[in-house]
């Protein structure tokens, strides 16, 4: 069957994470993505983290299903190529600092005048408006301003990074949602496109649950709580006999009672003061101490087996080695086989979400730098002689 986004054409002018991650997801579900890269250098992500034969293995995931075209967007001829491409595009994705496209004559107003059906996703640190719009903003800053960094870590210690570029990824997901909404609106209504303004800090802030209403009503400023889930008990990390941790979420009323019976604390199970979460939160330390006393007596595997048998949510902390050998990941096709350009086997993450009738797929591996420049430029009427001349001047 046709993929949900078959026939949708996307021009990606972003780099690194936020914009390209959004385009990656759309490409997995059938969209044609043409990625613009700097001639000779390419997207900086090509050189991030661990490299194989000079190219990041991360690149192989972030850019699968895409076509690579090299264009120096600072040069007028390259800008004219973009304007020509835009005529037949459904979506443009960019995550430059606000004002960059305007300097190149590729502002939203310019592009929508060329193609009124165009949808444009603009991802930036602070958004396209507001007093901070001109500040440079990376994911780490968005995570801090959005409230996440303040909550990450142990009480009384320096805030820590989540471990991945979560601010960028959250912005990409919000961008994907925005594009899908805009495509639906275009289909349902006037046929016109629109601009989607996604800010890194707002994407993070959107995930901050009850932070603002609690401050508004109770003047409560939530503080970092380590592995504990604030206001929900019991839900924490507990040390086992073998020095490993388990995460236990025993916060449902019936789940809590079963958990207390398993650890031999019938007194806590039957205590009327602990029959619901509101009461348990007031005595969370006491409950956590009782659970820890029990987990300290058993190795991690025994704790997990015992709690799973009683339908109590429990898990261990996975590292990537655990993930790579876990049969559940394999069964659900969350670890797929791929190849590097030299034929080296490569494991890559599977596709999310999983659609029953029109699932996403990897149609081709990540492109070499400029691999599709000639193909794409020829499709808009630029001859070989013209392309050769553009190469000599460093335009492509």
Active site residues: 168
Question: What CA–CA distance (Å, rounded) separates 369 from 36?
Answer: 10
Q: Are strands 119-124 and 195-199 parallel, antiparallel or unpaired?
A: parallel
The candidate with the shortest Cα–Cα distance to 73, out of 60, 86, 64, is 86
Question: What CA–CA distance (Å, rounded) separates 351 from 138?
Answer: 26
The candidate with the shortest Cα–Cα distance to 284, out of 239, 232, 245, is 232
Token pair recorded at residue 279: 């009461």
Helix axes 166-188, 18-28, angle to 10 degrees: 50
The candidate with the shortest Cα–Cα distance to 32, out of 63, 7, 2, is 7
How far is residue 87 CA from its own chain's centroid? 29
CA atoms within 13 A on the CB side of 210: 11
Cis upstream peptide for 104 (omega within 30°): no
Rg (CA), the chain: 25
How far is residue 258 CA from its own chain's centroid? 36
């Amino acid at each position: 069957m046709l993929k949900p986004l078959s026939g949708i054409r996307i021009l990606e002018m972003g780099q690194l994470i936020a914009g390209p991650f959004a385009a990656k997801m759309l490409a997995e579900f059938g969209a044609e993505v043409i990625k613009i890269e700097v001639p000779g250098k390419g997207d900086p992500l090509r050189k991030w983290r661990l490299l194989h034969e000079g190219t990041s293995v991360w690149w192989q995931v972030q850019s699968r299903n895409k076509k690579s075209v090299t264009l120096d967007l600072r040069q007028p001829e390259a800008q004219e190529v973009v304007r020509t491409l835009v005529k037949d595009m459904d979506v443009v994705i960019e995550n430059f600092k606000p004002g960059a496209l305007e300097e190149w004559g590729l502002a939203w107003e310019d592009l929508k005048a060329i193609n009124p059906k165009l949808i444009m996703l603009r991802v930036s640190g602070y958004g396209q408006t507001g007093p901070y719009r001109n500040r440079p903003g990376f994911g780490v800053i968005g995570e801090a301003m959005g409230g996440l960094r303040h909550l990450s870590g142990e009480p009384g210690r320096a805030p820590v990074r989540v471990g991945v570029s979560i601010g960028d990824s959250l912005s990409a997901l919000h961008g994907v949602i925005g594009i899908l909404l805009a495509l639906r609106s275009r289909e349902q209504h006037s046929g016109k496109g629109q601009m989607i303004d996604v800010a890194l800090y707002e994407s993070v802030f959107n995930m901050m649950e009850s932070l603002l209403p609690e401050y508004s009503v109770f003047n409560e400023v939530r503080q970092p709580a380590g592995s504990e889930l604030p206001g929900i008990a019991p839900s924490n990390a507990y040390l086992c006999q073998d020095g490993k941790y388990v995460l236990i979420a025993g916060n449902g009323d019936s789940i809590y009672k079963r958990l207390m019976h398993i650890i031999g604390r019938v007194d806590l199970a039957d205590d009327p003061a602990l029959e619901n979460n509101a009461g348990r939160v007031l005595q969370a330390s006491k409950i956590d101490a009782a659970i820890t006393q029990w987990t300290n007596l058993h190795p991690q595997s025994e704790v997990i087996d015992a709690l799973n048998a009683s339908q109590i949510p429990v898990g261990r902390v996975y590292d990537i080695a655990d993930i790579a050998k876990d049969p559940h990941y394999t069964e659900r096709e969350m670890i797929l086989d791929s190849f590097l350009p030299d034929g080296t086997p490569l494991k890559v993450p599977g596709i999310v979400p999983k659609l029953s009738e029109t699932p996403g797929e990897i149609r081709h591996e990540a492109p070499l730098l400029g691999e599709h420049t000639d193909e794409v430029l020829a499709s808009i009427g630029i001859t070989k002689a013209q392309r050769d001349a553009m190469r000599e001047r460093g335009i492509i």
